[in-house]
C-alpha cells in the first residue's frame, strides 16, 4: 500500500516511512490495503497482483517478506526486501489495548465502506487504528459582506481557524464545511459571493458547503425541525458500525434486505438507532413523519409505545415471514394525476404512493405491471420495478391483515404522540384518541401513501428542516415536493460515507441554519478507565512537566513548491541570479514574457551557471572522485531543468495564444496586457457568430461574432501560466459581464494580479474575470466517473449532426463538438464529444449539451448563454484534436431564469476536467418564435393577420431578447439609425422595421426566393427623424399624407418595387406591402391609422373565444367594433361618435380577427366614406419603461383598400354609443 495515498508526499521521509510501514505489516502479519484505489485498471485482473480494499490477515507457509520501493525529493530512498524474524515461540499478531468496551474510531468522512466485522476481529487483524478527526470550519458574521471578508485570506489561515469556535453567536450569516480542502473553500467563496450579489440567499450542501444568510431556524417565525423516516427502498446499505461503537449501541450481526421481513426490520432498526443518536447530539424534532413502514418508526420515536416492548417485539424476535400478496411495485416518473390516466386500461393496478410531483408508485399483478412499464417506456416515461413485494398501502393486502395484526398486536399502544406526528394516510396530524390511532393504523396498511400532500401540509405548518432519519432517497422526494421553497433536506446516514462523517455534516448544516447541535458529541470521548487519551510508548522520554521530549518536524505536505529569493541564488549557486520572471525582484518594467534568442519558446530560460567558477571545480582538477561528483551534479541539474521546463509547458493550450505581452502594472503588483479580439487574430470566432446571415455575407458586423465564454477561460489560464511559468489546474469564480465582440475588433485590457503563491486574478476589463490556480503538475489523483441510472435515460431524438443542422445551437464547424448523444434523463445528459484545436472548443461543446437537455424537457425559453462558472478543474493536458471525449452533464437546479449544472469530461477512462456551477441564463423568447429565431430567413417574427397584413409587437419580457431580435432584423447601417433614434422611440422603430420587412418577405417567399434574411432588405423610413405624427405613427397622427416608405435590396438579388402601408404605436406596428405594377393605385389612402386598445380595459386581459354567431351586441364584438370606429374616425379627423358600423365579419383564415366596414361623414354635404378596418388580438409583453403594460390587447387599423363613397345612409347597422 502507498504511504503517499494516505498522507501525501513525505518528501525526505519517503524511504523511512515506507520502511516503517513494511516492518509493521510484517509485525502484525497483515496485508495492507491500497487506499483510494476504488477502480483499479482492468488489466490488473490478468496478472498475479491484486488490489486490496481492506486489510486481510497475511497467511503464509514460509517466511513472510515485504518489498520496499520508495523515492523522496532529495531525501533518503529505500529499495530493499524485509523478512520477518524467525519465531522463537508460538505467537500471534499483537492485539491492541482498547480503552473502554469498544474501540473508538474517528470519522474520516471517507466514501469507502466500513467493514461490518465485529470490532474484536478487526482489532485482531490490524491492531489499533489511529485516524485524524475530520476538520470542521465554522464562520459566523452579522452580514454576508462581513463573512465574505473573512474568507478573503489564504486557505491555510482558514484551516487554522477550524479549531476555534466562532465568536459571533447572534443571528446573521453562517458558513460551515467539513474537511476544508482547496476545492471546498473555493466553493465556499463562490457560494458567499452569490449571496452578496443577491443571486441566492442560501447554499445548502452543494460541494459539501453550507451557507445561509436567512437561517431557517431563526427570525420572527423560526422554522421547525421535522424527522422523516424512510420506508423500503430499492437499495438498503446503511453505514452504522462506527456510530454504534462510538455511542455504545448494540447492532445485530447483519443488516440485510435479503427478504421482506429482514428488510423491514433492518429499516426500522436503523431509524431507531439514528433517532436515539440524534437526540444525544442535541438534535430534537418538532414534528415526525414517515414514508410507508417509516411511519411505524415515527410512532416509535413519538413515544407511543414502551421502548422495551418495541425492542422485544420488533428487534429481538424473528423477522416476519408471513404471506403477502404476489404483486409488484413500479415507480413512475410522473404525477399521480398522470399515473391514474395511464391506469385507465389497467383496472388491477392502483396508485399506492403519491410521492412527489414527478414520482408516483403503482402496484398490481406482475404481468400487468410489466406491460404498463413497457408501454410507458415507449412513451419516454421513466419506470423502475421495485425489488420487493408486499402489497402494503393497497386493497390487495386486506386478506393478509389477520397475520399482520397478530404480529403488530404484540405492541401495546400506550399513549398519544409526545411530538406532533403526521399521518401520510390523511396528510394531517395523528389524533389524540388512541382508538382513532388504532383505526388509522389499519387504514395506513391498505390505503395509499399521500407523502406529497403530507410534506406540503407540514411545510404550511412551519416545518423548514427535514432530517431523513436513515439512508436512501427520501430527501429527494421532499426536495421534489418543495422545489424552490426555502428549506433544508439532509440525511442522517448515507451509503456513500461513514456514519460519523454523515452525522457531522448534518450537525454543521443545522448549525448554519441557527440550530444548536452538540458537535462535541462526535469527538473522541474520554476513556472509561481514566487513562490518557494518547498513550506514550514506555521507551519514549517524558519531561518533568509531563511533556514529550521527542523533537518532531511538522512538514507542510500541501506546499506545491519551495521558492528561494533570487537575490540569494548567486551565493547558493556561485554565479549570477537566474533570469527574472513575473513576480521576481527584478526592476524591469518591460515585457517579461516572450521569445528570446536563448529560449525561443519564451516559457523557460534556464540559468546556465559557469561550472569553472564553482568551488568544487578546483578539487575536480586534482581529484578523480571530485571530478565524477562534479559531472554527476551537473548532469542532475540539467535533467531537473529539463523536467521542470517540460512540466511548465505540459498544459499549454493550442491556438488562441494571447498576442498581448505582459508588462508590469504601473501601480501595485501584477501585470497588464492589451489583447486584440478579432476574426483576423482569432479566425475560429467566425464560427461563434450569434446572428445567422446568408453565406458569404460581406458585413461581418451583421453576423456578430463574439469571444466564447470557454475560450475566455482558456485565455485566462494561459495568462496565468505565462505569469507563473507553471500549469493552470483550475479556474474559479468566472463571471461574464458583457459580450466581447470580435467585429469590430476589440482591444481589451487584461489585468493579471497575484492573490497567492498559486493564484492569479485575471480580469478582461469590462467583460469578464476569474481566479486561476497554478501548480507544478496536474493532480496525481483524478476523481471517479459519475454514475448514472440507465433505466432513467430516454433515447436521444437526434444525432449530433442534426443538432447543428436544425440550429438547436448557433455554432459553426469550429465549435461543433457534439458527435453522439448517449441519453438524457430528468436531471442529466450524456454525450460523446470530439476534441478540436479550437481554444475552449471542447468545454464549449460540453456546455451545449445543456441546450439539448432544456429543449428535451421544457416548452419555452430555449435560448441560454453562460453567465458564470463556479469551478473548472483540469486533471491533465487537453485531449488532442479528434479524440473522443465522453461528457456527463448533471443539472443541479433550474427555473425560468437559470440553469445550474455540473459537467464531467472523461478522456478514455480518466476524468480530464470537471466543471461545478456552470450557470446559464435562460432568455424569455416564447416557443412560438423559436423557429423564427433559429431560421429568420424562413419565418417572420411578426404575425401575418389577413390579406398580407403583418402585426409586430414585443412578446417577450426581456430587453436582452429585444437586442437579439434587433440583430436579426437590422443591418449595420440600420443599426446606426437605431442608435441615433431617441431611446423612447427605439422600440417603435424596431417594430416598424419588423412589420415592414416581414410584409415584404411574405410576398417574396416561394420557389424563387425560399430564404430571405431580414438584413437583405433595407427600409427607408422617416420615423425617428420626423415627429411621430409626421411619420404616420402614434394614435394622434394628423391627416397629412404619410411620407414615402421605401424598401431596397442589399443582398444581391433584384427587389421589385413595393408600395408600403405602415402604422405604429409605442407598443405595436402593422404593415402591408404590395408589389407596384405600372402606375400606383389612385385609390390608395393617404395613410394607415392604427388604434390600440388601452391596457386594463378588460380585467385579467384573458383571451376570450369568439362567439359562434355574429352578434354585434356581444361584448366580444363590441370591443372590436368600438376600436374599428376609433381608427376610421382618426383617419378622417372627426369625432368617433360620427363613425358608424356598416358591416362586420370574421376572417376565414383567422376567426379571432375581424374586418369591419365603417362609414364616416366626409363633410360639406358630401356622401359618407367607407373605411375597411381590420381588428386583431395579440399578446403584448412590454419589457421596458414607458409602455402600455402587458396583456392581451386588440389593435385596429385602416387597410389599404380604397375608400368607398356611401350614399345610402339608411343601410347603416351600427350604433353611435
Q: What is the pLDDT of residues 55-107, one digit of tens each?
A: 778 877 678 888 888 776 555 677 889 888 876 543 333 332 223 333 334 44
Count the Cβ atoms, other than its own, within 10 Å of residue 855. Answer: 20
Rounded CA-CA distance 424/289 in Å is 7
- Give the start-end residues of each E strand in 1035-1076: 1046-1049, 1058-1064, 1068-1075
**For residue 1050, is pLDDT > 70?**
yes
Span 471-515, pLDDT tens digits? 888 888 999 899 889 999 999 998 878 899 999 999 999 999 999
- The segment with the largest mean pLDDT, out of 90-104, 138-152, 563-577, 1080-1094, is 138-152
Quick one: CA torsion of 359, 364, 366, 370, rounded to 10 degrees? Answer: -40
- Residue 817 near residue 825, CB atoms below 8 Å: no
**For residue 1208, is pLDDT > 90?**
no
Q: What is the distance, to the nearest Å, from the Cα of residue 79 to the centroid of all Cα atoms in its chain?
A: 48
- pLDDT category at 262 given cuts 50, 70, 90 is confident
Single out the residue of 340, 368, 373 nearest to residue 354, CA to CA. Answer: 340
pLDDT at 257: 56
Q: Where are the alpha helices (DSSP H) in 91-170?
A: 119-126, 144-150, 155-160
- Residues 78-81: contacts with CB under 8 Å, at least 24 apart: 78/14, 78/15, 78/16, 78/18, 78/19, 80/19
Greatest CA separation for the chain: 137
Calculate mean pLDDT across residues 1196-1217: 51
What is residue 921's three-state secondary structure?
A: strand
> For residue 1108, with 0-12 CB atoms within 10 Å meaning exposed, 13-18 middle and 19 or more buried, which class applies?
exposed
**For residue 325, is pLDDT > 50?**
yes
Single out the residue of 1064, 970, 951 nearest to residue 1015, CA to CA. Answer: 970
* Fold of the domain spanning 790-922: Thiol Ester Dehydrase; Chain A (3.10.129)
- Residue 21 near residue 3, CB atoms below 8 Å: yes
The total number of residues shown for the chain amounts to: 1217
**For residue 964, is pLDDT > 70?**
yes
The per-residue pLDDT of the chain, averaged, comes to: 78
- Residue 780 near residue 716, CB atoms below 8 Å: no
Q: What are the DSSP calls for 495-549, one per residue?
A: TTS-HHHHHHHHHHHHHHTT----GGGGSPPPPTT---SS---TTS-B-TTS-B-
> For residue 457, with 0-12 CB atoms within 10 Å meaning exposed, 13-18 middle and 19 or more buried, which class applies?
middle
871 forms beta bridges with 732, 916
Rounded CA-CA distance 1217/1202 in Å is 27
The DSSP call for residue 544 is T
What CATH number matches the domain at 328-385, 3.30.230.10, 3.30.43.10, 3.30.1360.120, 3.30.70.250?
3.30.70.250
pLDDT at 1048: 86
Do the domains spanning 328-385 and 663-775 agree at the CATH topology level? Answer: no
Span 6-31, pLDDT tens digits? 777 777 777 888 888 889 888 888 88
Quick one: CA torsion of 568, 572, 577, 579, rounded to 10 degrees? Answer: -100
Q: What is the percentage of the chain residues whose pLDDT exceeds 90? A: 35
299 phi, psi to nearest 5 deg:
-65, -40
Strands 78-83 and 65-70, how do they pair?
A: antiparallel
∠ CA 1079-1082-1083, rounded to 5°: 135
Grid cell of 556 as nine digits: 507542510
pLDDT at 253: 57
Grid cell of 1144 as nine digits: 362586420
- pLDDT category at 575 given cuts 50, 70, 90 is very low
- Residue 1145 near residue 1191, CB atoms below 8 Å: no
**For residue 408, is pLDDT > 80?**
no
CATH architecture of residue range(s) 663-775: Roll (3.10)
Q: What is the percentage of the chain residues whose pLDDT exceeds 70? A: 74
Rounded CA-CA distance 1155/1198 in Å is 10
**Radius of gyration from C-alpha coordinates of the chain:** 38
pLDDT at 714: 97
Domain coordinates in residue numbering, the chain: 4-94, 136-212, 224-321+393-522, 328-385, 617-649, 663-775, 790-922, 929-1211
Rounded CA-CA distance 800/1184 in Å is 38
The DSSP call for residue 868 is E
Single out the residue of 376, 327, 375, 373 nearest to residue 348, CA to CA. Answer: 327
Calculate mean pLDDT across residues 1179-1187: 51
Strands 463-468 and 224-229, how do they pair?
A: parallel
pLDDT at 656: 38
Rounded CA-CA distance 10/333 in Å is 51
Name the pTM for this structure: 0.48
Count the Cβ atoms, other than its own, within 10 Å of residue 250. Answer: 7
Rounded CA-CA distance 43/51 in Å is 12
Grid cell of 334 as nine digits: 410522473
- Residue 1190 near residue 957, CB atoms below 8 Å: yes
pLDDT at 63: 85
Span 263-320, pLDDT tens digits? 778 888 898 899 999 999 999 999 999 998 889 889 999 988 887 777 766 655 544 4
Grid cell of 650 as nine digits: 505540459
Residues whose CB falls within 8 Å of the CB of residue 197, separated by 6 or more in sequence, listed in order = none
What CATH number matches the domain at 224-321+393-522, 3.40.50.300, 3.30.70.260, 1.10.10.60, 3.40.366.10?
3.40.366.10
Rounded CA-CA distance 441/256 in Å is 26
- Residue 1012 near residue 1004, CB atoms below 8 Å: yes
| CB contact burial 63-95 (16+ within 10 A = b; e otherwise) | ebebebebebeeeeebeeeeebeeeeeeeeeee
Calculate mean pLDDT across residues 1193-1212: 60
**For residue 810, is pLDDT > 50?**
yes
- Residue 596 near residue 602, CB atoms below 8 Å: yes
- Residue 868 near residue 847, CB atoms below 8 Å: no
Single out the residue of 819, 226, 157, 900 nearest to residue 515, CA to CA. Answer: 226
**For residue 607, is pLDDT > 90?**
no
Amino acid at each position: 500500500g502507498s504511504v503517499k495515498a494516505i498522507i501525501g508526499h513525505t518528501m525526505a521521509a519517503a524511504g523511512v516511512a515506507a520502511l516503517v510501514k513494511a516492518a509493521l505489516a510484517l509485525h502484525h502479519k497483515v496485508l495492507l490495503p491500497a487506499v483510494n484505489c476504488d477502480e483499479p485498471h482492468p488489466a490488473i485482473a490478468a496478472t498475479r497482483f491484486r488490489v486490496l480494499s481492506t486489510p486481510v490477515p497475511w497467511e503464509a507457509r514460509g517466511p513472510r517478506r515485504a518489498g520496499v520501493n520508495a523515492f523522496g525529493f532529495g531525501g533518503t530512498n529505500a529499495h530493499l526486501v524485509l523478512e520477518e524474524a524467525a519465531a522463537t515461540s508460538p505467537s500471534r499478531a499483537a492485539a491492541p489495548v482498547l480503552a473502554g468496551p469498544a474501540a473508538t474510531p474517528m470519522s474520516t468522512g471517507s466514501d469507502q465502506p466500513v467493514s461490518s466485522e465485529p470490532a474484536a476481529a478487526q482489532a485482531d487483524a490490524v491492531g489499533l487504528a489511529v485516524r485524524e478527526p475530520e476538520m470542521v470550519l465554522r464562520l459566523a458574521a452579522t452580514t454576508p459582506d462581513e463573512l465574505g471578508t473573512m474568507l478573503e485570506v489564504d486557505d491555510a489561515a482558514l484551516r487554522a481557524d477550524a479549531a476555534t469556535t466562532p465568536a459571533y453567536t447572534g443571528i446573521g450569516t453562517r458558513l460551515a464545511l467539513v474537511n476544508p480542502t482547496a476545492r471546498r473553500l473555493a466553493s465556499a467563496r463562490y457560494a458567499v459571493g452569490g449571496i452578496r450579489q443577491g443571486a441566492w440567499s442560501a447554499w445548502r450542501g452543494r460541494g459539501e458547503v453550507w451557507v445561509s444568510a436567512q437561517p431557517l431556524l431563526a427570525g420572527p417565525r423560526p422554522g421547525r425541525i421535522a424527522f422523516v423516516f424512510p420506508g423500503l427502498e430499492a437499495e438498503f446499505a446503511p453505514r452504522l458500525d462506527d456510530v454504534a461503537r462510538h455511542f455504545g449501541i448494540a447492532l445485530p450481526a447483519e443488516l440485510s434486505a435479503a427478504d421482506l421481513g429482514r428488510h423491514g426490520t433492518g429499516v426500522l432498526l436503523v431509524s431507531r438507532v439514528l433517532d436515539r443518536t440524534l437526540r444525544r447530539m442535541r438534535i430534537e424534532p418538532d414534528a415526525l413523519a414517515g414514508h410507508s413502514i417509516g411511519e411505524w418508526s415515527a410512532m416509535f420515536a413519538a413515544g407511543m409505545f414502551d421502548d422495551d416492548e418495541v425492542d422485544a417485539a420488533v428487534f429481538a424476535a424473528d423477522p416476519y415471514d408471513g404471506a403477502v400478496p404476489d404483486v409488484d411495485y413500479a415507480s413512475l416518473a410522473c404525477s399521480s394525476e398522470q399515473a391514474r390516466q395511464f391506469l385507465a386500461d389497467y383496472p388491477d393496478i392502483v396508485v399506492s404512493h403519491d410521492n412527489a410531483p414527478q414520482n408516483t408508485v403503482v402496484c398490481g399483478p406482475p404481468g400487468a405491471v410489466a406491460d404498463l412499464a413497457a408501454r410507458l417506456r415507449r412513451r419516454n416515461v421513466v419506470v423502475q420495478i421495485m425489488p420487493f413485494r408486499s402489497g402494503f398501502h393497497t386493497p390487495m393486502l386486506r386478506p393478509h391483515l389477520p397475520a399482520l395484526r397478530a404480529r403488530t398486536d404484540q405492541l401495546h399502544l400506550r399513549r398519544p404522540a409526545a411530538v406532533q406526528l403526521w399521518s401520510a394516510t390523511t396528510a394531517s396530524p395523528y389524533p389524540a384518541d388512541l382508538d382513532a390511532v388504532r383505526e388509522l393504523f389499519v387504514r395506513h396498511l391498505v390505503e395509499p401513501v399521500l407523502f406529497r400532500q403530507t410534506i406540503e401540509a407540514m411545510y404550511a405548518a412551519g416545518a423548514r428542516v427535514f432530517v431523513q432519519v436513515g439512508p436512501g432517497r427520501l430527501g429527494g422526494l421532499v426536495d421534489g415536493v418543495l422545489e424552490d421553497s426555502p428549506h433544508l433536506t439532509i440525511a442522517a446516514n448515507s451509503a456513500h460515507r461513514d456514519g460519523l462523517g454523515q452525522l457531522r455534516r448534518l450537525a454543521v448544516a443545522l448549525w448554519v441554519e441557527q440550530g444548536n447541535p452538540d458537535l462535541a458529541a462526535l469527538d473522541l470521548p474520554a476513556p472509561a478507565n481514566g487513562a490518557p487519551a494518547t498513550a506514550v510508548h514506555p521507551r519514549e522520554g517524558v519531561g518533568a512537566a509531563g511533556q514529550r521530549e521527542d523533537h518532531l518536524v511538522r512538514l507542510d505536505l500541501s506546499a506545491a513548491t519551495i521558492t528561494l529569493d533570487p537575490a540569494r541564488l548567486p551565493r547558493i549557486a556561485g554565479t549570477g541570479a537566474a533570469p527574472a520572471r513575473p513576480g521576481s525582484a527584478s526592476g524591469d518594467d518591460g515585457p517579461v514574457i516572450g521569445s528570446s534568442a536563448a529560449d525561443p519558446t519564451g516559457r523557460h530560460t534556464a540559468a546556465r551557471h559557469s561550472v569553472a567558477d564553482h568551488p568544487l571545480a578546483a578539487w575536480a582538477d586534482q581529484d578523480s572522485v571530485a571530478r565524477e561528483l562534479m559531472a554527476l551534479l551537473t548532469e542532475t541539474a540539467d535533467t531537473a531543468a529539463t523536467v521542470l521546463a517540460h512540466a511548465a509547458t505540459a498544459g499549454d493550450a493550442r491556438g488562441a495564444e494571447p498576442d498581448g505581452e505582459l508588462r508590469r502594472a504601473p501601480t501595485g503588483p501584477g501585470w497588464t496586457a492589451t489583447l486584440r479580439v478579432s476574426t483576423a487574430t482569432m479566425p475560429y470566432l467566425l464560427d461563434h457568430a450569434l446572428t445567422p446571415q446568408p453565406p458569404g455575407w460581406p458585413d461581418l458586423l451583421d453576423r456578430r461574432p463574439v469571444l466564447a465564454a470557454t475560450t475566455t477561460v482558456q485565455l485566462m489560464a494561459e495568462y496565468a501560466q505565462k505569469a507563473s511559468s507553471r500549469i493552470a489546474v483550475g479556474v474559479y469564480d468566472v463571471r461574464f459581464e458583457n459580450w466581447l465582440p470580435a467585429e469590430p475588433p476589440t482591444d481589451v485590457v487584461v489585468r493579471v494580479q497575484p492573490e497567492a503563491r498559486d493564484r492569479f486574478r485575471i480580469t478582461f476589463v469590462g467583460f469578464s474575470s476569474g481566479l486561476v490556480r497554478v501548480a507544478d503538475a496536474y493532480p496525481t489523483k483524478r476523481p471517479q466517473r459519475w454514475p448514472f441510472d440507465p433505466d432513467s435515460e430516454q433515447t436521444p431524438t437526434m444525432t449530433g449532426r442534426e443538432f447543428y443542422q436544425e440550429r438547436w445551437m448557433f455554432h459553426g464547424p469550429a465549435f461543433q463538438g457534439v458527435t453522439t448523444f448517449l441519453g438524457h434523463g430528468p436531471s442529466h445528459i450524456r454525450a460523446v464529444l470530439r476534441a478540436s484545436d479550437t481554444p475552449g472548443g471542447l468545454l464549449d461543446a460540453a456546455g451545449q449539451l445543456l441546450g439539448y437537455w432544456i429543449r428535451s424537457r421544457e416548452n419555452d425559453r430555449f435560448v441560454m448563454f453562460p453567465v458564470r462558472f463556479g469551478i473548472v478543474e483540469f486533471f491533465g493536458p487537453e485531449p488532442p484534436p479528434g479524440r473522443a471525449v465522453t461528457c456527463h452533464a448533471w443539472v443541479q437546479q433550474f427555473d425560468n431564469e437559470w440553469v445550474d449544472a455540473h459537467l464531467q469530461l472523461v478522456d478514455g477512462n480518466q476524468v480530464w476536467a470537471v466543471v461545478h456551477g456552470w450557470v446559464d441564463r435562460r432568455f424569455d423568447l416564447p416557443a412560438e418564435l423559436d423557429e423564427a429565431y433559429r431560421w429568420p430567413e424562413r419565418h417572420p417574427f411578426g404575425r401575418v393577420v389577413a390579406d398580407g397584413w403583418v402585426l409586430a409587437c414585443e412578446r417577450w419580457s426581456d430587453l436582452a431578447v429585444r437586442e437579439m431580435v434587433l440583430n436579426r432584423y437590422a443591418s449595420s447601417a440600420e443599426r446606426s439609425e437605431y442608435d441615433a433614434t431617441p431611446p423612447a422611440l427605439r422600440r417603435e422603430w424596431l417594430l416598424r422595421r419588423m412589420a415592414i420587412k416581414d410584409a415584404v418577405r411574405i410576398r417574396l417567399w416561394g420557389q424563387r426566393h425560399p430564404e430571405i434574411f431580414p438584413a437583405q432588405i433595407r427600409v427607408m423610413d422617416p420615423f425617428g427623424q420626423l415627429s411621430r405624427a409626421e411619420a404616420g405613427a402614434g394614435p394622434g397622427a394628423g391627416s397629412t399624407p404619410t411620407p414615402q416608405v421605401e424598401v431596397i435590396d442589399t443582398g444581391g438579388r433584384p427587389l421589385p418595387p413595393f408600395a408600403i402601408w405602415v402604422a405604429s404605436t409605442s407598443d405595436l406596428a402593422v404593415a402591408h406591402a404590395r408589389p407596384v405594377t405600372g402606375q400606383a393605385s389612385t385609390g390608395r389612402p393617404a395613410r394607415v391609422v392604427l388604434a390600440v386598445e388601452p391596457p386594463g380595459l378588460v380585467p385579467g386581459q384573458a383571451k376570450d373565444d369568439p362567439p359562434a354567431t355574429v352578434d354585434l351586441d356581444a361584448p366580444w364584438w363590441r370591443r372590436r367594433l368600438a376600436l374599428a370606429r376609433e381608427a376610421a374616425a382618426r383617419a378622417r379627423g372627426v369625432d368617433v361618435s360620427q363613425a358608424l358600423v356598416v358591416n362586420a365579419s370574421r376572417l376565414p383564415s383567422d376567426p379571432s380577427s375581424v374586418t369591419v366596414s365603417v362609414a364616416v361623414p366626409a363633410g360639406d354635404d358630401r356622401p359618407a366614406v367607407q373605411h375597411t378596418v381590420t381588428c386583431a388580438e395579440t399578446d403584448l409583453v412590454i419589457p421596458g419603461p414607458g409602455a402600455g403594460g402587458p396583456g392581451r390587447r386588440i389593435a385596429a387599423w385602416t387597410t389599404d383598400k380604397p375608400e368607398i363613397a356611401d350614399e345610402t345612409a339608411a343601410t347603416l347597422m351600427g350604433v353611435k354609443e
